[in-house]
Structure 1
Amino acid sequence: MEGFKYSILASGSTGNAFYLESDQKKILVDAGLTGKKVEQLLNEIGRSAADLDAIFITHEHSDHVKGVGILARKHGLDLYANEQTWKIIDEKNLIGAVPNEQKHIFQRDSMRVFGDLDIASFAVSHDAVAPQFYRFMKDGKSFVMLTDTGYVSDRMVGMIENADGYLIEANHDIEILRAGSYPWKTKQRILSDVGHLCNEDGAEAMIRSLGNKTKKIYLGHLSKENNIKELAHMTVFNQLAQADMRVGTDFHLYDTSPDTATALTDI
């Protein structure tokens, strides 16, 4: 097939997993739910964890690595992360024992050929050791994942611009977060440059990045406590429209779920 297929299996503050398949490879990015739940989500889209080749890890937080170890051990999967992330995963025993031959280094701001896919990693600004996200490319098509960052720099925009599809963070509504029950220190962390993008920041990142190839934008990593799906969608939609972006015509805006997979989609 030309291009590839993908599904956002889960996206939210409680767990994250992304599936992508090409002619030659079937991969996950992160597995921040139980192994059983990830397998269930794959089954929802007619796929099996037994057919996976690898998991690419973005950073060490539990909502991204919770199920990595069990899936790697059960199915003999190759795992990819940068050196600093591996170090803290091993030091804190975050995924349990995995044979060294299954663990591979994928440094930040580098490119890797993986079967028929080209995968670019890029650094983000988050309170993890060395967080990185990915751009997947094949046959002139590309999909970008960008969540878990406190802001989007010009350098990041250069890495992600004019992709066919995006998963962009819309973590919180600032007013809901400020009025909510989180401790002040936690609120400060989320709002900081090493926290998460609010709805408006996610929209602004897309305004700076999308191009004439862009067809699909998914809003991801929504906080259950500090956001509302409809509010996030409306905020981003309105901000894109106000910037004269033809949302709903040139490209479409989609929601994601923390516990239900999006449809398996061609790009």
Structure 2
Amino acid sequence: MRVSVLASGSTGNTSLIETGQHKILMDAGLSGKKIKQLLAQVGVDISDIDMAFLSHDHTDHSGGLGVLMRRYPQIDAFANSGTWQYLCNTNKIGKIPAEQINIIEPGQTKTYGDLDVTAFATSHDAAEPQYYVFSSDGKRIAFLTDTGYVSEKVEGTIKAADAYMMEFNYDNMMLRNGPYSWPLKQRILSDEGHLSNDEAGHALLDVVTPKTKHIFLAHRSQHNNTESLAHKTAKQMLVDGDANLDEDVKIINTEPNKPTDLIKI
């Protein structure tokens, strides 16, 4: 299995997962044109994408999905019934081809050839948010952003993955002292908001094992965080702390408009 976080942040989110049989998008929160360009940067033709998994309805995760489904009929798209219902009722992403709509509900694990996908519910101010663990050929990667907290149930689902894409959204002091309105700050800080650097680090402490070799720091706020703060917090908590990790674990920064390398998990 190979993975690239193509773009991550409030301006749009999408990642690529490759198995022997599939090329998969995790979220599609940029324009179809931009996603095509990002895929090309890691050597993948968008016409080879055959699956897309959607976490929730917010535009920075779903905005490009309708275009991709209409333009590339080979793409089977997956989300839970609550997310599909909301998107269809609001017409947020245009008319969605019914034959490309597939449902995976929180708590379900489904198999698609050489790919197993487990969906799990998160806590965010969206219709029915959920994220996924992707497994293939004995390897697992867990994706988790856009959640106000990480429950014990979620920790149990994502524990002992080979790789994580984890939200490091904000630094507490930067958010509290920053330019956002107080209601917006309250939303971000709430149980239906986002994870701070410290909260993400503590969650990872509970789930990483010596199997874990790659940690992608994702969904970093451009106003309330910096790459160096997120990376420093992750390293201090995980590498310099008491995390159950081997020394060769790689902590990888992600960018809002530049893909990471296509990394073998």
- TM-based fold match above 0.5: yes
- Normalised TM-score (structure 2): 0.97
Corresponding residue to 1:5 among 2, 7, 11: 2
2:32 aligned with 1:21, yes or no? no
Distance 1:37 1:64 in 2: 13
* 1:248, distance to aligned residue in structure 2 (A): 7.8
The answer to whether the Cα contact below 8 Å between 2:210 and 2:244 also exists between their aligned partners in 1 is: no
Letter in 2 for 1:106: I
Corresponding residue to 1:75 among 72, 82, 89: 72
2:31 aligned with 1:34, yes or no? yes
Distance 2:20 2:47 in 1: 16
Q: SS in structure 1 opposite 2:119?
A: strand
The equivalent of 1:121 in structure 2 is 119
Once the two structures are superposed, the pairs formed by residues 95-114 of structure 1 within 5 Å of their partners are: 95-114=93-112
2:66 aligned with 1:61, yes or no? no
Structure 2: give runs of 5+ residues left out of the alignment: none
Q: How much identity, in percent, do the aligned residues show? A: 45
Letter in 1 for 2:234: V
Letter in 2 for 1:55: A
The equivalent of 2:161 in structure 1 is 163
Distance 2:15 2:219 in 1: 12
* 1:115, distance to aligned residue in structure 2 (A): 1.9
2:87 aligned with 1:89, yes or no? yes
Distance 1:245 1:156 in 2: 18
Distance 1:190 1:27 in 2: 29
Distance 1:115 1:41 in 2: 26
Distance 2:262 2:67 in 1: 24
The answer to whether the Cα contact below 8 Å between 2:64 and 2:93 also exists between their aligned partners in 1 is: yes
Structure 1: give runs of 5+ residues left out of the alignment: none
The equivalent of 1:254 in structure 2 is 252
Following TM superposition, where does structure 1 have runs of at least 4 consecutive aligned residues deviating by more than 6 angstroms? none
Once the two structures are superposed, the pairs formed by residues 228-267 of structure 1 within 5 Å of their partners are: 228-245=226-243, 249-267=247-265
* 1:108, distance to aligned residue in structure 2 (A): 1.0
Q: How many pairs does the alignment contain?
A: 264
The equivalent of 1:220 in structure 2 is 218
Letter in 2 for 1:26: K
The equivalent of 2:171 in structure 1 is 173
* 1:5, distance to aligned residue in structure 2 (A): 1.0
* 1:184, distance to aligned residue in structure 2 (A): 0.6
Q: SS in structure 2 opposite 1:55?
A: strand
Distance 1:33 1:74 in 2: 15
Letter in 1 for 2:13: N
Distance 2:76 2:93 in 1: 13
* 1:246, distance to aligned residue in structure 2 (A): 7.0
Distance 2:240 2:5 in 1: 27
Q: Deviation string for 1:53-75 (max 9, x for gaps)?
A: 01111000000011111111111
Q: Deviation string for 1:219-245 (max 9, x for gaps)?
A: 000011111011110112112245323
Q: Deviation string for 1:15-34 (max 9, x for gaps)?
A: 10011111111110111011
Corresponding residue to 1:204 among 184, 189, 202: 202
* 1:156, distance to aligned residue in structure 2 (A): 0.5
Letter in 2 for 1:103: I
* 1:127, distance to aligned residue in structure 2 (A): 0.7
The answer to whether the Cα contact below 8 Å between 1:237 and 1:247 also exists between their aligned partners in 2 is: no
The answer to whether the Cα contact below 8 Å between 1:164 and 1:215 also exists between their aligned partners in 2 is: yes
Distance 1:112 1:197 in 2: 28
Q: SS in structure 2 opposite 1:204?
A: helix
Letter in 1 for 2:165: L
Q: SS in structure 2 opposite 1:63?
A: helix
The equivalent of 1:47 in structure 2 is 44
Q: SS in structure 2 opposite 1:31?
A: coil
Distance 1:256 1:197 in 2: 16
Distance 1:182 1:230 in 2: 21
Distance 1:116 1:138 in 2: 6
The answer to whether the Cα contact below 8 Å between 1:203 and 1:240 also exists between their aligned partners in 2 is: yes
